[in-house]
Structure 1
């Protein structure tokens, strides 16, 4: 039963990965096309932000596909591979939070006021703000803790198998 559920969840994440990848490509083209007539530094900073943001999400979705595919193929869920994947998800979540923090800080205190003073990120605050995504930081800590638990469970499973 768990294998079928994991196969289904894997398929959902594959669809999400494909759709998001297509959206990312369209967004990157849109950033370039929308930047016609603007300074190269404005377009470059927007392009870099969208590209890094998108690649982090693509990597996250790919790791989720791999996690559920592994269990769907009958491999044990508590393994070193799964623990490493969960740790990588934690690192990606931390990188995501840092990317948002750096981007919003650079836009708020930008040398180019027309970019920094008119941008609204997340909740589109009317004033400049620096966004610290505490939810993503908490998610990163939870995923790192889960990776340690999975690593410990894999060790216990190995010790149990060696005993029998």
Structure 2
């Protein structure tokens, strides 16, 4: 298999993976958005949950929705077989990383050990697993934010290399035409 065939095979694999990821993210977005809106309305409308916690929950849900929408958009270009190394992809990854960092920071303000449950009779129940003064640190969110910032840096570098490669190729073509 020569280099061109390898590049085309890799491009086809990228297209298939990105299309599957995009479809999976779209399938996740609809129930997530509906359940999030329902939960926020039910929990915050009764007045049992403090306003500050409703605000934090709403902001977190909004940022998570933005992350899903941005990731769906990020998968669009490679799913069409176009190089993902573009300024737009870099901006998208940067926004996703910032939103993930925002979600992480918002979780620090949540009350540790507290959970809210909506039962059959729309009862607003609060329970504390343990009364403590520790910070509510979700390492998964922190790691996700750090990974997205890392991907942003890698894609930014890849975009610069792509631009350099395109410029070199256009210079080579213009020299060949001049001969």
Smaller-chain TM-score range? 0.7 to 0.9
Match of 2:21 in 1: 9
Structure 1 runs not aligned, ≥5 long: 108-117
Alignment TM-score, normalising by the size of structure 2: 0.72
SS in 1 for 2:90: helix
Report the Cα offset of residue 94 of structure 1: 0.9
Q: Structure 1 61/25 Cα, relative in aligned 2: closer, same or farther at 3 Å?
A: same
Higher strand share: 2
Alignment TM-score, normalising by the size of structure 1: 0.78
Instruction: Tell me, in whole angstroms, the C-alpha distance in 2 between the residues paired with 1:139 and 1:29.
Output: 28
Report the Cα offset of residue 103 of structure 1: 2.7
Contact in 2 for aligned 1:104/1:129 (Cα 8 Å) = no
**Please, which moves more after superposition, 83-92 or 124-133?**
124-133
SS in 1 for 2:51: helix
TM-align CA RMSD: 2.1
Instruction: Tell me, in whole angstroms, the C-alpha distance in 2 between the residues paired with 1:3 and 1:93.
Output: 26
Instruction: Tell me, in whole angstroms, the C-alpha distance in 2 between the residues paired with 1:144 and 1:32.
Output: 33
SS in 2 for 1:104: coil
Q: Which structure: larger Rg? A: 2
Residues 15-64 of structure 1: CA distance to partner in whole angstroms, max 9, x if unpaired?
111110000111012113543xx4xxx44223212211111110111111
SS in 1 for 2:110: helix
Instruction: Tell me, in whole angstroms, the C-alpha distance in 2 between the residues paired with 1:151 and 1:25.
Output: 35
Match of 2:130 in 1: 125
Match of 2:4 in 1: none
* Count of paired positions: 145
Structure 2 runs not aligned, ≥5 long: 1-11, 115-125, 170-179
Instruction: Tell me, in whole angstroms, the C-alpha distance in 2 between the residues paired with 1:51 and 1:34.
Output: 15
